Amino acid sequence: LTVQVNKPGAAVNKNMYGLFFEDINFAADGGLYPELVKNKSFEINPGLIGWKALGGGFNLDAYAVRNEQGISQNNTHYLRLTTRNGGTGEAGIENEGFRGMGVKAGEGYNLSFYARRGAGSIAGLTAVLVGEKGEVLAQAPIMLNGEGWQKYTSVLKPNATHNKAHLKLVVNGQGTVDLDVVSLFPQDTWNKRPNGLRTDLVQLLKDMKPGFLRFPGGCIVEGRTLSERYQWKETIGDVASRQPLINRWNMEFKHRSTPDYYQSFGLGFFEYFQLSEDIGAEPLPILNVGMACQFNSGELAPMGTASATKGGPNAPTANTGDPSLDIFIQDALDLVEFANGPASSPWGAKRVAMGHPAPFNLKMIGIGNEQWGPQYLERYEPFAKAVKAKYPTIQIVSSAGPSPDGELFDKASKRLGELKAEYVDEHYYALPQWFREHADRYDKYARTGPKIFAGEYAAQSVAIGSPENKNTWDCAISEAAFMTGLERNADVVGMASYAPLFANVDAWQWTPDMIWFDNLNSYGSPSYYVQKLYALNKGTKVLPVTMPDGAKNGTDNLFASAVADEPAGDVVVKLVNYSSSPRPVSINLAGAKGLAKTGRAQVMASADLQTQNSLAEPKKLAPQESTFAVKGSTLSYTLAPNSFTVLRVAGK
Ligand code: AHR
């Protein structure tokens, strides 16, 4: 095949390959956000989710969630324990964590809680970290000596590593004690921040050098009803004052009789912006456009002037009725101010107060997730107009529904084009074959309309929505084949992200997912390594490729694309051989001069298309490096059976 090095085409967006984060599959609480205590503030209804009384409550006279004289207006519920007079054995309460707590031997875990002593003679509590068999991993006695609500702290250092630990709070003495905001937080967080993120997971993200981070979803942006939508203003400020909200994905849980999936918002919008900065990605928040999930209630915010919004620490008004569209628009305008505004602005001041005086330099926002139909367009239009009027340089990502095919999509695209939308967000989940067959999808797109953000896509090994879907090599190699088409059409496709990003092996609703983890360990699926190879080798300009005998790209399951990496002076060729036979290729790097005599190959290959990675074999299928010879401006290379190969040749 021929790569026309002397005829560089469109520029590749420097943020082309990014990340889609949604709190699905325990991606936030129980995942990236490493708080170990579930329902730490007893604010989830019923308030004992995650908690149980020690010994079945035998030594407790009562344990109940109450709400008189709580620690603050936004954290009204707490737990009251009353121990039995003359009881023997342990009296107290135990937290199960998020399918257990992952703790590491010798590491420090910050324990904190609020307590208020009532009648009786309770002198203190003992915090005990226990393993599954009840073995003590760490313990700390804590004296309760103050009056009224007091904060108590200690550090637990487990003597062994354990994946499914629990935290017990054992009451010493007889009487009544109130407890709230019980937290056990690892000291080892990203950048050692007190409310920081899980290090192994952030590292996997950073290693991809992602161009952007889209957050917070996904369907959770919308909620099943409007009152359950994601409201960013409720997720900033003091962590203890952030009120939990039922997760849109709670109902998808088949594993548990009591649904227990809530968003604590410990990972809130400030933390998302900070994460974006930490991993070098442009933040891309997606905002509710005034519509609940159309797969659920499909509730619509009335058009027009604001009347009210949900009450909360940052809500501008009291809760007096249904929110109208203006509330949603105002949220977007305030978000830009929160991210970029000076300390003298009301929302900029909140960012500064949280410890980030410099702006986050927000450049893009998404209006609506996966919404469709005329209801979307009529809301999108005034929304986008208001954002552009106040912030003309902010780029807007618009939505195109769940499947970017068919009449509705075509109509929406046409209208979005007329409205001069900058990006249209397309989503596709389909069988691996679909991805291979549609690698030419964007070859046919108009070059003049809005750019495409392939905001969610993944090959599904069995069927869309099937719990049997696996992250097989068949899925990943098919995505790699499809992505040659994204790369080739860099003048149309400006951004792309695989979805969903994370899944907890013990608590998921959706498969496949890019990165899997348990309470201690994590691994990237083959799809993760495909994404990473593209991101690390995205180059700066598309180079035209002519396939052998002038055939169409993808003929005989051979897919190719190429880019110039101008700052490095390199030519990068990506090839997918979806065939059980090795395939020799001869590549003419037309017009290239002074190339190095040796190139570097990164290869993912497995004859078995069902190959997967796992916690036990995290890198069973990951890129392998080798070198190859370059003769003048040509090279011969044999592609392995079922392989994705990235060849990089340096100019001298
Ligand atoms: O990625 C999972 C879900 O798929 C997202 O929440 C939604 O946008 C899409 O339907």
Write out pLDDT tens, residues 348-384. Answer: 999 999 999 999 999 999 999 999 889 999 999 999 9
Q: Whose CA is nearest to atom 6 of ligand 1?
A: 218
**Atom of ligand 1 at shortest distance to CA of 369?**
8
Indicate which atom in ligand 1 lies nearest the CA of residue 248: 6
Domain ranges within the chain, ordered by starting residue: 2-12+540-650, 51-186
Q: Check residue 253 and give its pLDDT.
A: 55
What is the reported pLDDT for 254? 55
Q: Structure tokens of 575?
A: 């090839």
- Residue found by looking up tokens 């953000």 in the block: 453
Nearest to 428 by CA among 393, 404, 453: 404
Closest by alpha carbon to 301, among 321, 319, 317? 321
Q: Residue 320: its pLDDT value, please?
A: 40
Q: Which of 72, 78, 61, 73 is nearest to 116 (CA)?
A: 78
Give residues with Cβ within 8 angstroms of 94, minimum separation 6.
51, 52, 53, 54, 166, 167, 168, 169
Ligand 1 binding residues, C-beta < 6 A: 22, 24, 217-219, 369-370, 402, 427, 456, 499-500, 510
What does the alpha-carbon distance between residue 60 and residue 44 come to, in Å, rounded to a whole number? 22
Q: How far apart are CA 190 and CA 84, in angstroms?
A: 43
| Active site annotation includes 370 | yes
Query: What DSSP line would sit under 406-446, residue for residue?
Result: SHHHHHHHHHHHHTT-SEEEEEEEE-HHHHHHTTTGGGGS-
Question: What SS3 string covers 329-374?
Answer: HHHHHHHHHHHHCCCCCHHHHHHHHCCCCCCCCCCEEEECCCCCHH
Give the type of residue at 260: D
Rounded average pLDDT per 10-residue block, the chain, 652 residues? 97 98 97 97 84 85 81 88 84 95 98 94 95 96 93 98 98 93 98 97 98 97 93 96 90 62 96 98 98 91 64 40 87 98 98 98 97 92 96 94 70 80 92 97 89 96 92 98 98 97 94 98 98 98 96 96 97 98 97 95 98 98 98 97 98 75
Alpha carbon distance 310, 228 (integer Å): 10
Among the four given CATH numbers 2.60.40.1180, 3.40.50.300, 3.30.2420.10, 1.20.1050.10, the one describing domain 2-12+540-650: 2.60.40.1180
Q: What integer pLDDT is reported at residue 74 of this predicted model?
A: 82
Can you tell me the distance from the alpha carbon of 325 to that of 519, in angstroms, rounded to the nearest whole number?
40
DSSP 263: E
The residue whose CA is least distant from atom 5 of ligand 1 is 218
Q: How far apart are CA 324 and CA 307, in angstroms?
A: 6
Nearest protein Cα to ligand 1, atom 7: 218
Closest atom of ligand 1 relative to the 499 alpha carbon: 1
Q: What architecture does CATH give domain 51-186?
A: Sandwich (2.60)
Three-state SS at 624: strand
- Ligand 1: centre distance to CA 218 (Å): 5
- Please report how many Cα atoms fall inside a 13 Å half-sphere around the Cα of residue 30, on the Cβ side: 28
**Which atom of ligand 1 is the closest one to the Cα of 458?**
1
Q: Which of 370, 426, 456, 487 is catalytic?
A: 370
What is the four-CA torsion angle of 216, 449, 392, 345, rounded to 10 degrees? 0
Give residue 652's pLDDT: 65
Beta-ladder partners of 366? 286, 397
pLDDT at 252: 63
Centre of ligand 1 from the C-alpha of residue 475, in Å: 18
